[in-house]
Each structure stands twice: as structure tokens, then as C-alpha cells.
Structure 1
């Protein structure tokens, strides 16, 4: 298990609305803005190769700020295109809590972070012993049919619980604050409960109408 003392106190942060990274999950990203190309190049020079994914939001005073909790991913794959862009994959390592943003000369944002309280992220696969998979798959069938989505149902059925719940949490389109709720769920079971609530709300049309059949 990776210990907090093995992780850096300051990391680069990538504020990307609606993008969710979870521990042990993989997030593909297309990097093309000059400041984030610099961020990637700097991350690749470090032994940890970490980039922190975090949700931005507009504060009441109009300033562009960051959610307190994000998730750091290690760059595990990357390839460069002919025109200098990068296709990368981040593999989620651990969530973190932002202590404060760090001023400096980098064109991208950095933050001092605290890794305490997220030991579960670094302890191996999470379990959900009360998961009613059959009932969940029925709900998912209804949701995909209502939205006109298509998927490889055989692959979904074969995925283990953590991979299934985390992949859906990352891939389905929810509002940034809903993505943040999925990120901050303290366990796989609470994330699954949050995901079910969001799917059921979407099936209601978000306004309390009868479920779409």
C-alpha cells in the first residue's frame, strides 16, 4: 500500500469540469493547450508522474476556484501526435484534499495537498457486499433504453463490482456537482448508492415525473 509520506506534498492540478478520476480507474485525456503540455512534461520528469484531477467552480465573488477534494492519477500511457498534442492515460492513485494553491512561475496550477483520510484508496480493491447486481442491471437497462444508449452488455455483466460502478460513475454524463458527490463517496457502497440515486433522478426527468418505462 502506498503511504501518504510516499506521495508529494505539492502536485500539479488539472481543473476539468465534469471529468472524474477514481482510484484504480483509468482516464484517457487529450492534452493540447500549451500550459497543460508544460504540465505533462513537468509531471513526466518526476518519479511519481502524478497529475491531480479536480473540479473547478465559480465562487460567489466570481473567481475561478477549485473543489477541495480531487483525485491524483499517475501517467501510465502517453503518445505524441505529429502536431505536438498528447494522448495520455491517468491511472487513479488516491484522492487528496487541497490545503492551498501554490503560487509560482508555472503556467498551470499547483496545490499543496493532504493525503490523509484516503487510506482506502491505496489499500487495494474496494468491496460492496450488499450490491444487488441483478436489480442494478435492470435499472441500467431502463436508463440506457430511455437515453438511447448502446453498450456491450456482456462486458458490463463480466466486470467486477468496483470496475462496473467506477466506470459508470466516470463515463455517464452528470453535472459537475454530481460527479463531485461520486468522487467524495467514502466507500464503493456509498458511491453505488449515489449512482443509483442519480440514475433514478435522470429517469424521472429530474422533475419528479413518473419513471420512463
Structure 2
């Protein structure tokens, strides 16, 4: 029978050491691989994030430029509207001033029209008064000719309007034929007076007008 010698303590230790070294190499390699993988992943993540950030920043810059342009357009439109508003305000003020002037002129014209109308009414009243007075004078005035008292002229006492000269002849008759003389006279000066009654007939020659007193 063959017998096998027992390994010594040194051999056992060396075997364990070799196994430990192999195990450490395996773990070290795995750690290196893991580190490489992690580094690559981190770099890829950073690259991707950088690209996204760059795109985002570019988009923000583009948006800012667009907003700046829109703001400039809005500011220009605001200034234009402000100018239009100022123009409208000026035109409104001018229109208000023109309306005020027109109202003032209208009032002035109305006042002149009222003044003219007042003068016209005054003239008309004077004309009416003069016409009435003229009619009254006409009714109370006897001229040259033959007149029927109570028909052509009113009864009453009359006096010549002016002093008479030579050959003023007047005559009062009780009939139209002149056959019944009630009174007569040839006046050579002064202002003669006659009294007429209804139904009588009066004749005047070269005496001028007679007016009722």
C-alpha cells in the first residue's frame, strides 16, 4: 500500500496565497472595468447634458431676440398710437374752439337779429302811429271843394291850417244845390273858423286846408 505524505504548513500557506492573489486580480480587473464603464457613462451623460444645455441656451437666446424684436415693434406701435392720440386730441381741441367761436358768433348774430327785429318793430309801431295819426288828420281835415257834412266830413269846428291871403271864400248851405246859404265870408287874412253841423254842405275856395279843433 502506497502512502501519501501530508502537505506541510508552508505548502498550505502558499496555496492559499496563490488563491488570494488570483481572487484579488479578478476583483481588481472587475473594479477597473467597472471604473472604466462608470467613467464612460459619466462622460456620455455630461456630453448629452452639455448638448441639451447648449440647445436650451440657444433656444432661450433665440426667444430673447424674438421678444426683443416684438418689444421694439410694440414700442414703435405705441409711439405711433401716441402720436395719433396727440393729433386727435389737438383736432378735438381745435374743434371745441371752433364750436365755441361758432356759438359766440351765433349768439352775436342772434343779438343783432333781435336788435334789428326790435328796430323793425319800433319803426312799424311809429309807422302805425303815423298812419293812424295821418288817418285821424285826414278825417279831421277839409280841403278845397264842396263837402257834405256827416257824409264827406265830420261835424265840428274847423280852422284853416295856415293864415289865408286875399280872396279866401267859404260858404255853408242847408241844401246841396247851394240855394240856402247859412253863412259865408270872404277872408283877407288870419285863420278863419267855421262850425259845421250834420246835414249841411260846406264849400271852400282858396282857403287852403281846414282842420278840426
Is the structural similarity TM-score above 0.5?
no
Is the strand fraction higher in 1 or 2?
Answer: 1
Is the helix fraction higher in 1 or 2?
Answer: 2
Larger radius of gyration: 2
Task: Tell me the TM-score normalised to structure 1 length.
Answer: 0.16
Task: Tell me the TM-score normalised to structure 2 length.
Answer: 0.16
